[in-house]
Amino acid sequence: MARVFITRRLPGDAVDRLAAAGHEVDVWREPSPPPAEALREHTAQADALLCMLTDPIDSDLLEAAPRLRAIANYAVGSDNIDVDAARARRIAVGVTPGVLTDATADIAFALLLAIARRLPEGEAAVRNGEWTTWEPDWLLGRDVHGATLGIVGRGRIGDAVARRAEGFGMTVVHHSRSSGIPLDKLLEEADFVSLHVPLTPETRHLIDAAALARMQPTAYLVNTARGGVVDQDALAAALHDGTIAGAALDVTDPEPLPPDDPLLAAPNLIVLPHLGSATHDTRRAMAELAVDNLLAALDGKPMPNPAS
């Protein structure tokens, strides 16, 4: 029998499979994430860990957990985990790819439509009593149909966004490590830029002040990848001075974003609380994959969905 620490309550009944397999399950049941000391204390007693993207799993925490032999991240990526340190200790690390592709692509396109057509402003105007008559030039947005969408990162989610864009009659261009057009050219051509790259040392602040300056002043940035891909100080400045027309974010750095963060004072900005995978079916499927990873590792087998 192994002891498994799970840092949040999960949708569905996937966790029951761990108990059914004879493992002891320790679930953090508070509404807020475990603070650093609690995360360290519970992980130190665990043979396996099921953690969230917002849980920092660094080398110090791993050093304090001599029994740990498996980590399942409840996310498609693993940038919150020191994967090299885990592998050095022969700790298997798994992720939950594939099942959140369409849900994340949906939220990316929802953000694109919302920022282009000024939906949050319109909804707020109705609630605030500002809608008193119909005016031909009030709350004018940008056409999505016929526009050019630039996709940065053409993996599963980038492909899914491209399929949605084609349904709107958009011209799709893309940039990735192995195909597409140069990033600078994409930024110059696109009416909408949608980010779908993992967070790595190479992609951190990929969209910086220089990249934003290459975009058209009528263009919009959409980020459903990782907050660190965008230099948020540069983005705030670009929104304030009109370098770009607007931005819509489902991810920030840090998460959650403090309510007094200067970025939130920028105009023409939508920020969501990381809702990309937030559907009932998707979150249940993520739990199943995470548990699959742990059950395999605890049985001495390779994880079906290892971190890359």
Measured between alpha carbons, how far apart are the two ends of the chain, in Å?
Answer: 28
Helix/strand/coil percentages in the chain, nearest 5: 35, 15, 45
**C-alpha–C-alpha distance, residues 222 and 152, integer Å:** 10
Catalytic residues: 226, 255, 274
Q: Decide if 193 contacts 185 (C-beta within 8 A).
A: no
The two tokens of residue 171 are: 């011209």
Q: Decide if 105 contacts 157 (C-beta within 8 A).
A: yes
DSSP code of 229? G
Q: Strands 148-152 and 70-73, how do they pair?
A: unpaired
Q: Could you tell me how far CA 179 lies from the centroid of its own chain?
A: 23
Instruction: Collect all residues with Cβ–Cβ distance below 8 Å to 167 and sequence separation of at least 6.
Output: none
Counting Cα atoms < 13 Å in the Cβ hemisphere of 234 gives 16
Of the candidates 237, 181, 190, the one whose C-alpha atom is nearest the C-alpha of residue 214 is: 190
